[in-house]
Amino acid sequence: MDTQTNPNPQASAGGEFSRPRHWVSLDELTPEYWASSADQEARGQEFLHKPIETLAAMEKTSSFPLQRRDFLTLMGASMAMTGFACARRPVEKIIPYVVKPEELTPGVANLYASTDPGVYGGFGVLVKTREGRPIKLEGNPDHPVNGTALSARVQASILDLYDPDRLAAPVTVASGRPSPISWAEADAAIAERLKKAARVRVLTPGVSSPSTRKLIQEFLASFEDGKHVQWEPNHSSDRVAAQEECYGDGGLTAYRLDQADLVVSFGSDFLGADAHAEAHARQWFRKRDLRGQKHSDARMSRLVSFESTLTLTGSNSDERHAVNAGDEVKVALAVAHEIIVASQHSALAGDAPTREALRDFSAAKVAVDVGIAEEAIKKVARELWEARGRGLVVGGDMHAGSADAFKLHLAVNLLNSALENDGATVDYAAFAPNAGLASGWRDYSALIAEMQAGRVDVLLVQGLNPAYLYGRATGFVDALSKVNTVVHVSDRVDETGIHAHFVLPEHHFLENWGDHEPRAGVLSLQQPTVHPLNATRSFQDILLGLIRAGKLSASGLALRMAGSEGGWHAYLRENWKSSVYPSHGRGLPFEEFWVDVLQKGVLVTGGGSRELPPRRFKTYALRSLLKGRAAKMDEIRLALYLKSTLGDGSQANNGWLQEMPDPVSTVTWDNHLNVGPSLAAQLKLKQNDMVRVSVGEASVEVPVLVQPGMPASTVSLAVGYGRKHAGAIGNGVGADAFSLVTLDSERRPVFAGNPVKVEKLGWKYELALTQGHHRALGRPIVNDVTLDEYRRDPAAEMHTNPHLRPKSVPTLWPVHEYKGYRWGMAVDQTACTGCGACVIACQAENNIPIVGRDRVRMSREMHWIRIDRYYSGSEENPDVIFQPMMCQHCENAPCETVCPVLATTHNDEGLNDMTYNRCVGTRYCQNNCPYKVRRFNFFDHWKDYRGNQNLLWNPEVTVRTRGVMEKCTFCVHRIQETKNLTKTEGRKLRDGELKTACQQTCPTDAIAFGDINDPNSRVSRLRADARAFRSLEELNAKPAISYLTKVRNKEKGATSHGEHH
């Protein structure tokens, strides 16, 4: 290898150290790393683990009674014995139906349209069922909110259905100990208490179902004083409240990211942890898609963000500024000052209260205060003004949820109104009115006060775990003890359940009926796709059951339906018959109308938006900006944040989500304190150091992750971990950061900006990262250019990086001929937001097991597709690139040539086939794969499946056993299925009809897959795009996957690093 292609930065600079352009870990930025890796290689120690040494160490420390040699002896004997056991094959039964359901053919999947209620409004899903069991969720293409896209969390929710830790029968709880009772007993006991009760409260998250809201109201009409409290912990209550303050119209707003040329985020993670991230990503990318645009005048929207921890949104920003937690509001106000006061722009320029409110926030002053460049603020202000009406300001998710969060939302509203974005890119008419939602947090606080005062007789909690959701700050548990009867409707006895009197097990959404109104004029139906697996009931049937058992005087339909056999299903139909059908029945008989909507899954009655008059910003709202301005703070501050993988922890018992690498840090199975490199040096903290993090009295113990892109004096920690009553998977994973939430003087929760004490504990804890396993070693794997460079030369990077485009290289191997189809893929790195939905979609589709924290540490995770994350630029504020990496199905596949048993072979459609029953597990292929995408089964992972979980398996994909290699197959079973279909119909494959699981769920359509022998297919056209390159092309493996260079809408070298010095 000549020095030209030598990737070692040290050598390429002739002894002087030069940094690699893209890097994976901070270590790679030090000369010592390169010296030591060269040194390690020279000493033959380049491997991560040495198997013999590792085993020897395990033997010494293992508490397992069996030593390695004994184990091998016994294993040898048992293998020999199995040889005898095979003599006669076991008798197998075939048990057909007694009466086969008409719509069901064994071996053929059925798809049902339904709705995942998720967080407020939910998503349209198609539920794939095989022989009556749901095995996969896909987005409903007819659904206006999410289309085909589903997030990782929704993809993973199918695993929750088969969770063996789900509660199977009602229980009574006495001093934290549950004991099972029958439904009849539960009904009778609770109804008895309800009959005597006057003050009854129902606490739920935001209910987007019109029929359920109606039923709850009718149930509550039985009582002298009944109230429904909706608290939606996944939407910032400040955001909703600020709407009311500024416009007199409380409620949720929707973003029209597909109308925005410029998005400025002040601590919003709308592309990551936000419950509607996939819908956002889908819209946002419509303005950024370069595919099909002429390069010389290509246009894409721009994203600028100011944030206190490196989120997915920040990672995808064209320009990102790290600001300390709680400072977002100052920057937002400085931008407003710059536009309205300094530049005298907008209709508010002459408004005295506005000028007065903004007086102290000049760009110069805030820049010094916050520690970012004054010009950065001025530039954003200029850009925002130029893009008025086509821009969008968003802000204030959990990591910006400081005591000033409400003010931040006021500032965001002020900016959007001043810039004429309100009504254009801020859609305030998108959601159907739901009075309960606007007053969520206020009502919830009031409820706790009522409970404390002993003024609640019966409390019914459904769909929430308020004892876990910063229960320490809210005092919810203490308040619960003052309520006569607490009924928790939940799928498990969780942190709240152990303090309740009754826990009633609830259906999973795939077992239940329902309707949802995710947007005004969009009605989405939910239908059960499996018979309830346990003796559970829907929340709605529980209410109807209580009305029946207690002979309660409920009003209207609920009273009528409580007496009928049909329960909630009949109630829902009746409600639709009287409320929806008359105006949208199109003259069809009701039955036909109902079946039609059920089949489509969604009924669009309006344009997805209400007709509302334009609204005015009430500058009076800004008066609260003048009150209690936060002083400049020198202490280290804490930002709590939601991980895009686990969210608020309600799905903590979901192993797929626990093992899904966090897109930014690539950590699995733990939360960790993110500390920036300079702050870590200052605090003498190293990666994996355990620290005690204290806010006031409360503290948690967590490991440190040195995270590039953190602000100078903010550390961040994810919530959603440290569950105690989640189940076998989720219990005790990580630390409960919700315990660090405090309430401010107005009893609003404070998630960010609190001063924090970080103490080193003196011991280490190894985080299970997936990023360090495979090292880039400075090789050109990913590509990024700026928009200007791209406009000048679409293949810009190619010319500057000679080893990406080798001239023809002679090959020893025969050239393959592809006569029929030839499968290939093109992945647009500009589109990939790194959200990881593909990872979980692949896991569900291909029966991929989880392996647990210890084995991830040994780099034995089994994911067939991973999202590699590369940094470039400064470690204080790097640029981030995501690259989905899976089997490249190389034409000259290095794995094939080393397999001694021909278990992995090239097929005549360009696939790299993997034949499991031939594999003897030499792992040569894994060693020889330059992309490190092959996964070895060290254990029979399928044996770890518990309870009903084997019902989840996709029968089209082999469940792999111990000792075989596996990897991405390009969803070969889908290829076979689709080819079979085309042959049955006697036609050729239509482009786009065949989608891999990862491609199907991708919100930004980053992945194209198809026949590259067809020059007109989408994938062929993308592979011919000037941006297309193949990863590690210089190796001449000729991958079937092309990547498209990432293009950023920013100026060359425009990063905000160095601002903290």
Partner 1 sequence: MLGNFGQLSVGQKIAGALVACLVLTLVGAGVVYVFPTASNQGYAPEQPIPFSHKLHAGTHKIDCRYCHVGVTESRHATVPSVSVCMNCHRVVKAESPWIQQIKKHYDEKKPIEWVRVHRLPDHARFNHQAHVRKGLDCKACHGDVGQMEKVRQVGALSMGWCLQCHRGMDVSSSVLSAAKPGADPAHPGELAPYQCSTCHY
**Choice between 125 and 862, CB closer to partner 1:** 862
Nearest to 915 by CA among 848, 977, 965: 965
Q: Is 916 in the site for partner 1 (CB under 8 A)?
A: yes
Say how many CA atoms lie within 13 Å of 512 toward its Cβ.
25
Q: Who contacts 248 (Cβ-Cβ below 8 Å, separation ≥6)?
A: 615, 618
Spatial contact of 269 and 313, defined as CB atoms under 8 Å apart: yes
Tell me how far apart the alpha carbons of residues 951 and 905 are, in angstroms, rounded to a whole number: 31
Q: Is 42 in the site for partner 1 (CB under 8 A)?
A: no
**Choice between 50 and 100, CB closer to partner 1:** 100
The distance of closest approach from Cβ of residue 79 to partner 1 in the complex, given in angstroms and rounded to an integer, is 8
The distance of closest approach from Cβ of residue 812 to partner 1 in the complex, given in angstroms and rounded to an integer, is 22
The answer to whether the Cα torsion of 61, 65, 71, 73 is positive or negative is: positive
**Choice between 572 and 975, CB closer to partner 1:** 975
Spatial contact of 1027 and 794, defined as CB atoms under 8 Å apart: yes
Task: List the interface residues with partner 1, window 108-137 (CB under 8 A).
Answer: 108
Task: List the interface residues with partner 1, window 942-961 (CB under 8 A).
Answer: 957-958
Q: Is 531 in the site for partner 1 (CB under 8 A)?
A: no
- Of the candidate residues 25, 110, 452, 905, the single one contacting partner 1 (CB under 8 A): 905
What is the per-residue DSSP string for 963-1010? T-EE---SSHHHHHHHHHHHHHTTSPPPTTS---HHHHH-TT--EEEE
Amino acid identity at 72: L
Q: Is 990 in the site for partner 1 (CB under 8 A)?
A: no
Q: Is 85 in the site for partner 1 (CB under 8 A)?
A: no
Spatial contact of 597 and 573, defined as CB atoms under 8 Å apart: no
Spatial contact of 62 and 713, defined as CB atoms under 8 Å apart: no
β-bridge pairing 302-307 and 319-322: parallel
**Choice between 371 and 910, CB closer to partner 1:** 910
- Of the candidate residues 340, 880, 911, 994, the single one contacting partner 1 (CB under 8 A): 911
Q: Is 624 in the site for partner 1 (CB under 8 A)?
A: no
Tell me how far apart the alpha carbons of residues 157 and 161 are, in angstroms, rounded to a whole number: 7
Judged by CB under 8 A, the stretch of 454-462, 635-643, 647-655, 908-916 that binds partner 1 is 908-916
**Choice between 1 and 85, CB closer to partner 1:** 85
- State how far the alpha carbon of 221 is from the alpha carbons of 448, 526, 555, 576, in Å: 22, 26, 6, 21
Q: Is 908 in the site for partner 1 (CB under 8 A)?
A: yes
- Of the candidate residues 245, 328, 670, 909, the single one contacting partner 1 (CB under 8 A): 909
Judged by CB under 8 A, the stretch of 195-203, 387-395, 426-434, 906-914 that binds partner 1 is 906-914
- Total residues contacting partner 1 by CB under 8 A comes to 46
Q: Is 565 in the site for partner 1 (CB under 8 A)?
A: no
Burial profile 381-406: b = 16 or more Cβ within 10 angstroms, e = fewer: bebbbebbebbbbbbbbbbbbbbbbb
- Of the candidate residues 47, 68, 76, 375, the single one contacting partner 1 (CB under 8 A): 76
**Choice between 461 and 887, CB closer to partner 1:** 887
Tell me how far apart the alpha carbons of residues 186 and 171 are, in angstroms, rounded to a whole number: 8
Nearest to 426 by CA among 244, 607, 283, 254: 254
Q: Is 563 in the site for partner 1 (CB under 8 A)?
A: no
Nearest to 1035 by CA among 911, 888, 898: 888
Residue with tokens 């991929």: 848
Task: List the interface residues with partner 1, window 965-984 (CB under 8 A).
Answer: 969, 972-973, 976, 980, 982-984
Tell me how far apart the alpha carbons of residues 277 and 279 are, in angstroms, rounded to a whole number: 5
Burial profile 571-596: b = 16 or more Cβ within 10 angstroms, e = fewer: bbbbbbeebbbeeebeeeeeeebbee
Judged by CB under 8 A, the stretch of 71-79, 517-525, 562-570, 1027-1035 that binds partner 1 is 71-79
Q: Is 553 in the site for partner 1 (CB under 8 A)?
A: no
Q: Is 811 in the site for partner 1 (CB under 8 A)?
A: no
The distance of closest approach from Cβ of residue 133 to partner 1 in the complex, given in angstroms and rounded to an integer, is 16
- Of the candidate residues 42, 85, 91, 631, the single one contacting partner 1 (CB under 8 A): 91
Q: Is 175 in the site for partner 1 (CB under 8 A)?
A: no
The distance of closest approach from Cβ of residue 91 to partner 1 in the complex, given in angstroms and rounded to an integer, is 6
The distance of closest approach from Cβ of residue 396 to partner 1 in the complex, given in angstroms and rounded to an integer, is 48
Tell me how far apart the alpha carbons of residues 698 and 32 are, in angstroms, rounded to a whole number: 39
**Choice between 42 and 80, CB closer to partner 1:** 80
- Of the candidate residues 99, 631, 812, 815, the single one contacting partner 1 (CB under 8 A): 99
The distance of closest approach from Cβ of residue 105 to partner 1 in the complex, given in angstroms and rounded to an integer, is 5
**Choice between 106 and 607, CB closer to partner 1:** 106
Amino acid identity at 596: D
- Of the candidate residues 1, 42, 52, 80, the single one contacting partner 1 (CB under 8 A): 80
The distance of closest approach from Cβ of residue 301 to partner 1 in the complex, given in angstroms and rounded to an integer, is 41
Amino acid identity at 955: P
Question: Where along the sequence are the contacts to partner 1 (CB under 8 A)?
Answer: 73, 76-77, 80-81, 83-84, 86, 89, 91-100, 105-108, 905, 907-909, 911, 913-917, 957-958, 969, 972-973, 976, 980, 982-984, 986-988
